[in-house]
Amino acid sequence: MEVLGIDIGGSGMKAAPVDTAAGKLTGELYRLETPDPAMPAAVAAALAELVRHFSWKGPIGCGFPGAVRHGVVLGAANLSRAWQDVNAVELFTAAAGRAVAVANDADVAGLAEMRFGAGRAARGVTLVITLGTGIGTALFVDHVLVPNTEFGHIEIDGRDAEEIASARVRKEKSLGWKKWVRGVDRYLQRMCQDQSLDRIIIGGGVSKKHEKFLPLLTVSAEVLPARLRNEAGIIGAALYAAEARAARLGDRGRTRPPRRARRRYPS
């Protein structure tokens, strides 16, 4: 199925058509700056522009940089406080003029990595971590997602983990890899201590340079670089929409509840 995948980030909004069976982009990626301030109406207007750019008439999936429960935003630390309790599915669907499925950006990037990337053969407990403007986390037990974990905001030494280990911190403080990796290592150690992880997959833009920092980590869990890099968010958003649609159609296709086996009583 072809789905338009949209990845909303703290600095950019990217979209591309995706073949969800192959996990590949089928057209060129188009990017817009995230509006500043990133208020709901402005972001929705930018999303509509992405949809118009592709003259898109098919299904749409969107990864959003905050926890999203049944379409409603619980918070978006790196966009604006105004997002709290906004129904993103309704807002984006109205702006795009067609149904938009919305889920957390790290969760959808994780879905793509687990299906088509570094987690393909993974069994057990896997944590996909995206290091970008914020820290996104997606927890999988085998290949089943536990949504909205938000482990990027755990407290370490009295500070939010994003202040210690996000890629933004490295840029803002002009940290060298060695210095920055100390914070990342500390964060990963805490995650391994709190959760019984079999492996960690590191994604986000910084995963392009994984050879600069992964060898410096001392954490004992297996740590793998993400394979889909910058495209994971777009591919995952499309995948999420395709699966949500399939589940809906499956439900509708069923006209009556499944028949229970008739009880037999001993005569």
Residues that bind ligand BGC (CB under 6 A): 65-67, 77-78, 104-106, 130, 132, 134-136, 150, 152, 162
Q: In this structure, which amino acid lies at residue 30?
A: Y
* Closest CB 111 distance from ligand BGC, rounded Å: 13
Six token digits for residue 39 = 């208020």
The SS3 of residue 19 is strand
CA gap 226, 120 in Å, rounded: 11
* Closest CB 160 distance from ligand BGC, rounded Å: 9
Exposure of 82 in the CB half-sphere (CA atoms within 13 A): 10
Query: Toward ligand BGC, which CB reaches closer, 95 or 131?
Result: 131
Residue nearest to ligand BGC (CB): 134
* Closest CB 152 distance from ligand BGC, rounded Å: 5
Query: Toward ligand BGC, which CB reaches closer, 80 or 130?
Result: 130
* Closest CB 105 distance from ligand BGC, rounded Å: 5
Phi, psi of 129 (to 5 degrees): -120, 125
Query: Toward ligand BGC, which CB reaches closer, 9 or 56?
Result: 9
* Closest CB 66 distance from ligand BGC, rounded Å: 5
Q: How many residues does the chain have?
A: 267
* Closest CB 74 distance from ligand BGC, rounded Å: 9
**Locus of tokens 């604006």:** 80
Query: Toward ligand BGC, which CB reaches closer, 8 or 56?
Result: 8
**C-alpha closest to that of 49 among 83, 111, 115, 97:** 97
Pure H helices in the chain: 40-53, 88-96, 105-116, 162-165, 167-172, 177-194, 210-213, 232-253
Query: Toward ligand BGC, which CB reaches closer, 70 or 259?
Result: 70
**Locus of tokens 């003259």:** 55
First to last CA, the chain: 53
Query: Toward ligand BGC, which CB reaches closer, 123 or 171?
Result: 171
**Locus of tokens 């600095």:** 11
